[in-house]
A = this chain, B = another copy of it.
Amino acid sequence: MSFSPLLQQLIQALRCLPGVGPKSAQRMALHLLERDRQAALSLAQSLQEACERVGQCQSCRTLSEEPICALCADEQRDHSLLCVLESPVDMLAVEQTGGYQGVYFVLGGHLSPIDGIGPEDLGIRQLLQRLQQGEIRELILATNPTVEGEATAHYILEQIEDPHLKVSRIAHGVPVGGELEFVDGGTLAHALAGRRSLRKEIS
């Protein structure tokens, strides 16, 4: 015995969600059908609408149903400061710090030859064209501090033709409030190498 065909199909379909295994998918399907069909129908509707209407912002490539997203359209932001990120979640993370007033460019991943993801897939040509327009004063490469993220940042750096453009990389180091004991070796090595003097240097 097993569940009815439509129920099995729903359980299978729910497994497309990241972090959802067979047990959770089962629990989700039963919960929706037994307790909350209204919510299930709303979810179906939202999924379809988002898939059909959400595209990329033409300027920053973040997910947006408008041709230009709200952030890119905001004239209060500093459009001469451009932060390059791997994904829209990273953008949310930077925004939530409240300390960044510039704009963004979302690659939508990192270079990964093994998965067939090259510069074209990440919009790097579009990024370089934007740099050539001369509005950008500083480019902050904020791809993830992983091997792939570093390689992607390095690749972009090498493609930049303007020798006067200020290009920076987010700092590596120990997390604020973290304990050295729990910081991995690579991070700690970066934190030591990137140490800053706490006393004025005597020149």
In the complex, per-residue mask of A19-34: 1 if CB is within 8 Å of any chain B CB, else 0: 1000010111111111
Stretch at the interface among A62-70, A133-141, A148-156, A183-191: A62-70
Contacts of A87 in B (CB 8 A): 30, 34
Report Cα–Cα, A54/B47, bound state, in Å: 20
Contacts of A167 in B (CB 8 A): none
Pairs A–B under 8 Å by Cβ, sample size 7:
A1-B70, A1-B91, A7-B63, A14-B17, A14-B46, A18-B31, A44-B44
A6: shortest Cβ distance to chain B, in Å? 5
Closest to A27 in B: B18
Given A9-B50, A10-B46, A34-B87, the answer on whether A40 and B16 have CB atoms closer than 8 Å is yes
A2: shortest Cβ distance to chain B, in Å? 7
Count of identical protomers in the assembly:
2
**Interface: A147 (CB within 8 A):** no
**Interface pair B65/A51, CB less than 8 Å apart:** no
**Interface: A202 (CB within 8 A):** no
In the complex, per-residue mask of A164-203: 1 if CB is within 8 Å of any chain B CB, else 0: 0000000000000000000000000000000000000000
A37: shortest Cβ distance to chain B, in Å? 5
**Interface pair A6/B95, CB less than 8 Å apart:** no
**Interface pair A9/B46, CB less than 8 Å apart:** yes
In the complex, per-residue mask of A28-60: 1 if CB is within 8 Å of any chain B CB, else 0: 111111101101111111111111011000000
Closest to A28 in B: B17
**Interface pair A16/B42, CB less than 8 Å apart:** yes
Contacts of A45 in B (CB 8 A): 13, 44
Report Cα–Cα, A141/B157, bound state, in Å: 69
Report Cα–Cα, A46/B17, bound state, in Å: 14
Contacts of A91 in B (CB 8 A): 1
